[in-house]
Structure 1
Amino acid sequence: MNATTHAFRLGLERGWREFRQTLGSSDQWFTVVITMAYLTVLWFQRDSTVDGTTLSLAALTLPSMIGMSVAFGGLVGPAGQLAVNREDGTLLRAKAVPNGMLGYVVGRVVQTSLDTSFSLVVVFVPGFFLVQGLAQAGVSGFAYLVPVLVAGLLATLPWGAVIGSVVKSPQGAMGFTMLPMMPIVAISGIFYPISAIPGWLQVIAQAFPVYWVGLGTRSALLPDSAAAAEIGGSWRTLEMFGVLGVWAVVGFLVAPTILRRMARRESGGDMEQRRQAALQRGVG
């Protein structure tokens, strides 16, 4: 086994191990709280019908939530993890080991993918029984959902890594991801049809992956008649994969350069400064 293959295998094992550790951590309370909030929204939307269709608003929202969760997981997860690992010295140790950065990146991708998948299952399973109309998606619909979710994750993962590489603290990572995401989600047709918002906001929403992942998940799980609530009355499958593909390709071209530059600049002195700043925040 050559060194690259060995580093890749270690990264897979590390990602799986860290995912298992998160299942028993207090972080899962956040997942529970978010799930309860989502289910509460679906409960109140279950009797409202989307204009131009026979579907309930909840049936439109649940697939959109799945898409939104993928975008959040791909962006927020790597950004926060990378910022924390720079602060606690994990990244510096990985840099000191031959092919350590490769193993580290593979581990981050595996853990983020598993964390995101777990959060999707936690939301979707109870939501599926709460919301009427999704069972008709059938095997083909759920099979189509897989490449949509993979495309959404690939479109956001590298940008999460970029943000985690340039911010100076975990708090900065959260600020640079969560704060911009909230208004983007608000205009991306997640909790109500995007056709109901002004045209200029529709244009802005279509520039970001959140809208397109949500569109893809809706097209996978909803009947064709639900496309009446979409822009142009169509699922726009080619455009969806095209935009997500552009975000993914550009991200994977930019992210390695940013990561290498950040890794070269890492030093024990920088890590100690970040550690002391973290201690000061804790004392404050």
Structure 2
Amino acid sequence: MIAVIRTGIARGGIELRQTFTNATDLWGYFFPTVLLLGTIFFMRDAHVPGTEFSLGASTLPSALGMGLAFGGLIMVSQHLIVDREDGTLLRAKATPNGMSGYLIGKTVLVGGMALIAFLLQLIPGLFLVEGLRLDLAGWLTLLWLVPLALVATMPIGAVIGSVIENPRNMGIVMLPLIGLIAISGIFYPITSMPGWLHPVAQVFPVYWLGLGMRSAFLPDALAAVELTHSWRHLEMFGVLGLWAVLGLLLAPTLLRRMARRESGSAVAARRERILTTVGR
């Protein structure tokens, strides 16, 4: 088992390094960063309702939490779908302990990509807006929140990737996720939204990750504009923990089922479908 873990970590490390030499991956790192920082820049003179605090400074931590959720949910599912499409999963299945090494490698890859994107947005963002703080309590919050964010979202991303076979069907996931971001208080305080949306947003990780990041970076006085006027760390840990448990229960079963269905004929059929579509 130790050899499998080492192999998986090494594989993930190699794939992570390759993202710095791939134009598509570099675009995936820098385009969202530029888009977010541009949005923050134009929001810098707006204020959180009822305060003199910059709305841009409040939005940056929220967007960092959103980015972790997006990375865990979408990147994992996209990698699974693409690797199933091109036969990578089939090759892993045919190798002793190949699937275990593959999953460990993807965990390292996606976790590393999410953390790199996090830092790319955070570091310049700290110079772009005023009012953010990161004291000892904030560091301690990040130490448990960031790993929990990945554990709560990556298995769910694996579940999504195991049930969606065609990359074109990712819109089924993207559209609801965009709607969820809109109601989760990422770009504007959730207390300014209709009350009936509050319980809906609180079911999902996006709201809690945004709230957790705000609690790490914003002054405690800003908790006054949150639901219940507090950072709600206990509830945050509980909801994210429930999502982690749900994902870890569902993902292994669905991934094993997906792996059993993989065969040379299935890969060939997908390639034929792609060629037929391109030919049209």
TM-score calculated relative to the size of structure 2: 0.96
- Alignment equivalent of 1:166, drawn from 163, 166, 179: 163
What root-mean-square deviation, in Å, do the aligned CA atoms of Structure 1 and Structure 2 show? 1.2
Instruction: Tell me the CA shift for residue 265 of structure 1.
Output: 1.1
Say whether 1:252 aligns with 2:221: no
Partner of 2:135: helix, strand, or coil? helix
Matches within 5 A, 1:126-275: 126-134=124-132, 136-172=133-169, 174-275=170-271
Instruction: Tell me the CA shift for residue 117 of structure 1.
Output: 0.6
Aligned length: 279
Partner of 1:113: 111
Task: Output one character per residue of 1:6-43: Cα deviation in whole Å (capped at 9) or x when no partner.
Answer: 11111000011001111111121133221111111101
- Alignment equivalent of 1:21, drawn from 18, 26, 29: 18
Q: Distance in 1 between matches of 2:210 and 2:230?
A: 14
Instruction: Tell me the CA shift for residue 262 of structure 1.
Output: 0.7
Moved more, 138-147 or 16-25: 138-147
Alignment-mate amino acid for residue 242 of structure 1: G
C-alpha contact (below 8 Å) 1:165/1:258 kept by paired residues:
yes
Q: Distance in 1 between matches of 2:277 and 2:137?
A: 50
Q: Distance in 2 between matches of 1:121 and 1:281?
A: 39
Instruction: Tell me the CA shift for residue 74 of structure 1.
Output: 0.1
Task: Output one character per residue of 1:144-163: Cα deviation in whole Å (capped at 9) or x when no partner.
Answer: 21311211111110111011
Instruction: Tell me the CA shift for residue 171 of structure 1.
Output: 2.3
Q: Distance in 1 between matches of 2:127 and 2:241?
A: 32
Partner of 2:53: helix, strand, or coil? coil
Task: Output one character per residue of 1:216-253: Cα deviation in whole Å (capped at 9) or x when no partner.
Answer: 11011111101011011111110001000000001101
C-alpha contact (below 8 Å) 1:53/1:228 kept by paired residues:
no
Tell me the percent identity. 51
Instruction: Tell me the CA shift for residue 138 of structure 1.
Output: 2.0
Task: Output one character per residue of 1:176-217: Cα deviation in whole Å (capped at 9) or x when no partner.
Answer: 332211000000000000000001111111111000011111
- Structure 1 unaligned residues grouped into runs of 5+: none
- Alignment equivalent of 1:57, drawn from 31, 55, 58: 55
Q: Distance in 2 between matches of 1:201 and 1:41?
A: 24
Q: Distance in 1 between matches of 2:122 and 2:99?
A: 34
Partner of 1:199: helix, strand, or coil? coil
C-alpha contact (below 8 Å) 1:58/1:131 kept by paired residues:
yes
Partner of 1:103: 101
Partner of 1:23: helix, strand, or coil? coil
Q: Distance in 1 between matches of 2:52 and 2:134?
A: 15
TM-score calculated relative to the size of structure 1: 0.95
- Alignment equivalent of 1:11, drawn from 8, 12, 16: 8
Partner of 2:275: 279
Task: Output one character per residue of 1:26-73: Cα deviation in whole Å (capped at 9) or x when no partner.
Answer: 121133221111111101111111123332101110000100000000
- Alignment equivalent of 1:87, drawn from 85, 88, 107: 85
Partner of 1:215: helix, strand, or coil? helix
Q: Distance in 1 between matches of 2:90 and 2:276?
A: 21
Instruction: Tell me the CA shift for residue 282 of structure 1.
Output: 3.7
C-alpha contact (below 8 Å) 1:137/1:223 kept by paired residues:
no
- Structure 2 unaligned residues grouped into runs of 5+: none
